[in-house]
Chain A
Amino acid sequence: MIKPIGKRIQQGFYALAIAAIIVVAAETGTRLEDWLYFGEDFWANPTFDGNMLVRDTNGGHGKPHGRYKRWKLNSFGFRGPEIERDPAPDTTRILVLGASETFGVDESDNKEFPAQLGTLLRGEGKFEVVNGALPGMGISGMVSYWENWASKFRPAAVVIYPNALFYLCDPPPKRPHAVSLSTAPGPTGNPPQSRFIAQFRDTLNLPGWLKEWRLERKIADRRADKPAEWHFRSVPQERLEMFASDLELLTASIRRAGAEPILSTQAIRADTFESPANRADLRAWLVNVPQADERIALRFSQQANTKIIEFGRKRRIFVVDVAACLSGDRDAFSDLVHFRDRGAETVARAVAAGIQRKFRAAAQNRVVSQSKCSAETPKKTQFESR
């Protein structure tokens, strides 16, 4: 039996009203949740960059008291507990610089590696660890960040956990001193957005085949219309040199300010190209570095780590070889570069062991140059200096 047109229109409106109510209730519910658990203003349109980053006369840095979802910054815009501007006289302040792996993304609260490092060093005399990392900050960004902002907190040592893979991006990172946190919001604030949809996108757990399809589409989009010479055919040495030169600038600047740089190699989940899981991780990273392929990304990361070690030897900078103790430990990572709690703990232990050796050697007027996992001992916990 065909329904009369009036009845159909009525039903159509009813269905539309129901759909509208679902959408409005979902948005309201998301905002209420954010207000209840994160203290977020109901009407605000928060974004990570808008809430957490600021650009002022000190350049780009973390926003004082910035807060986005579960992440909170202290009154100087650093993740972690409150600190005084100047370290206490008997305290050795250690600043950790890095990108999202160091800032802490997928770890539980207070499990990001600088926080765990702070806990480990607490029993070792008067150490204070400051997490000075910001998501997306490469070595070139760290130079101006250090010079304009972080150096004002007078750390005795600066641990640098670099993400060399940024140097495969298109375009490559800007030259140091030309860098500011360009993602900071403009004066008009954030545009209106649906927090529910943003949340939905974050937690949507698509089946593997669909994720793969979306990934391939993104990579293809980024490679579309690019000439053949745009693709890397081998590890781009000029990018490696760029990385090394930025490292040189950063460490020199740190030393000029009277602090001691401590370098770390970068650990990634894929240590070889053989396993399909490793290849999938590397493939996922190609969204960020579409000029490269999986093999080149892996080799670039490995060669950058070699560069870091060589650079450390040459400049007599202490290097903690985190890659040697963690790369390939798949359970320690949530993706190619970000840590889970255990991964962050391993990094913290490696760095803590390195710092203890470094400062002990300094007290005895000895030089130590590198700390890495021992081949004979289990990977996760034991470290040996040589």
Chain B
Amino acid sequence: MLFNSYIFLFCFLPITYIVFWLLRSARARYVWLAVTGYIFYGYWDPRFCLLMGFSTLVSYLAGLGFLKYKSRNGRLACLIVPIAVDLALLGFFKYADFTVNSFKELFTLIGWHVSLPALNIILPIGISFYTFHTITYIVDGYRGAIRPTKNFFEFAAYVSLFSQLVAGPIVRFRQIEEDLESLGSADRYRWLPLGISFFIIGLVEKVVIADHLALFVDPALAKYDSLSTLGVWLAMLGYTFQLYFDFAGYSDMAIGLGYLFGLRIPQNFNSPYKALDPGDFWRRWHISLSTCLRDYLYIPLGGNRHGEWKLYRNLMITMLLGGLWHGASWTFVFWGFYHGALLALHHRCREAWAQLPKFVRWSCTFLLVVIGWVFFRASDFGMAAQLLHAMFLPTVGVVGENAVVFLCFLVFAAGWAILGPNASEWHSDFTWKPVYGFRYACLFGLCLAVIARGSSPFLYFQF
């Protein structure tokens, strides 16, 4: 079920909302949130609910283990076993095909002809996200950063919370623990205006901007080999903003939905295209993922505590795994490597970089990020090479369809992303006025019109 579908907007959300607030106790609300989370998830393929249920149960038991066992060995077992189970599930469903195919290609490359079976495993939607939810819970439980819950439904509600289940943000238990604990006494009216506002702005970002950019970008990149230099630049710039508004839109909708149910979900995007260096970009882009990678991978690896070369090594490992997390493909791994290299390079010459004029720093960072998206978007290295070739060497070809309409949306999208406020800034000093109702009604109506034409799924669903 998509947030930008009629079934969600007019059926699932109203029913979930009304029943949630009719229920009085926290326990009943946990149960309801868990049940609706599974309905939301099972709408794609009910079979995968079992998988999520299993992962939830294992992580919940690990939490109970931390409460029960005080010995180091006991706690280590409660840390390692469930994480191994979670990673094994993620590895099997997401990376098994990739691994087999990579070995096949490697063997072919060295002249061995080995017949390995094609597994053709269906990737359960959102598995990368809920696996991260459960892993962060287990690690935080082990570290003592949270007190694991004894209430199974509270934990199940956290894992299967439909607003952040399939495409994040990756909300750590400790970030909404307080709200979950006080769910029974949550104030419905306090967060309602913020919820509506965040949700509709997110819907506009996704439906009005990202989907309109996609109308040019998707067909253009589908026949990328016929594009001219201008066509490739337009398509890649379009993709740059499409990806941002698609994912930031989803995140803002998730934050809005969280508010509707009395849960404060943290900000996930902070105008990343305003970044002045690669490090700044990663502090602004998909914040919940980059902070997770920082706290659960980079810092445990040693962070910047053991000298410069180890810092580079740690950065590279973190970004390579971050790239692989996005998708089981070597292009994603290379994208991670590329950003790792940018971060290392920036770290090495950060003082000289800081001397550059602000506009130069911004434009270089933006250009480097756009080049990175080539690898992110390309289905293989051949496509990436051809796109880069057309971007930097004059190429004759077509521009794409509906270029004028697209340019209007591109200028608007770029203006908003680079100069305008993001949804969190927009709401920094938010007070509801009745006239806002008309404004949001107008925006919602426009979104319904675009959805009626046929809206596309969120780009981050594939991860």
Contacts and interface: CB of A to CB of B under 8 A. Distances in A.
B437 interface: yes
A25 B402 contact: no
Nearest to B6: A204
B177 to A, nearest CB: 33
B444 interface: yes
B100 interface: no
B220 to A, nearest CB: 14
Contacts of A23: 445
A32 B443 CA distance: 14
Given A37-B402, A199-B453, A203-B454, A26 B446 contact: yes
Chain A's interface: helix, strand, loop or mixed, by majority?
Answer: helix
B449 A28 contact: yes
A24 B450 contact: no
Contacts, number: 73
Given A25-B446, A204-B6, A17 B438 contact: yes
A81 B454 CA distance: 27
A136 to B, nearest CB: 24
Nearest to A31: B449
Contacts of B438: 17-18, 21
B23 interface: no
Interface in A1-39: 14, 17-19, 21-30, 32-33, 36-37
B452 interface: yes
Contacts of A68: none
B324 to A, nearest CB: 32
Nearest to A34: B453
A26 B453 contact: no
B449 A26 contact: yes
A25 B442 contact: yes
Interface residues of A, number: 26
Highest count of chain B CB atoms <10 Å: which of A25, A29, A32, A205: A29
Nearest to B434: A14
Contact of A25 (B7, B215, B441, B453): B441
A202 B6 CA distance: 13
Given A29-B450, A37-B402, A205-B5, 19 more contacts: A14-B434, A25-B441, A25-B443, A25-B445, A25-B446, A25-B448, A26-B445, A26-B446, A26-B448, A29-B445, A29-B449, A32-B449, A33-B449, A33-B453, A196-B452, A203-B453, A204-B6, A205-B6, A205-B7
28 contacts: A17-B438, A18-B438, A18-B441, A21-B441, A21-B442, A22-B444, A22-B448, A24-B445, A25-B442, A25-B443, A25-B444, A25-B449, A26-B445, A26-B452, A27-B445, A29-B446, A29-B450, A32-B449, A37-B215, A196-B448, A199-B452, A202-B452, A203-B451, A203-B452, A203-B454, A204-B6, A205-B6, A207-B7
Interface of B: 5-7, 215, 402, 405, 434, 437-438, 441-454
Interface of A: 14, 17-19, 21-30, 32-33, 36-37, 196, 199-200, 202-205, 207
